[in-house]
Amino acid sequence: MQPLAAARALDQFFLDARARLLDLAAILDRIGRGADAAAAAADPRAGKLAEALGVLRSDAPNKAELVQRLFSLAYDPDWVRPAPRG
């Protein structure tokens, strides 16, 4: 299967990307203007968001994978599936 041509991908996804970026900008504005914004900035989740933005600004060809890994737990070979509640 051939990858989608870059120009066609831009045509197809531009408005959706624009809307998502505006949503993200609004969220970051709310955090930045909120009461005790300095405490929120020190929150590790805010750090993850900043790291993800760095990935998006990078030239990495696998941005989606890198962002997904950033927000995922590392694989634990000793993890045990929880039993259903009964």
Residues 34, 36, 41, 44, CA torsion sign? negative
Q: Give pLDDT tens digits for 1-39.
A: 999 999 999 999 999 999 999 999 999 999 999 999 999
CA dist 51 and 60 (Å) reads 13
Percentage of the chain with pLDDT > 90? 97
What mean pLDDT, rounded, does the chain reach? 95
Helix (H, G, I), strand (E, B) or coil at 52: helix
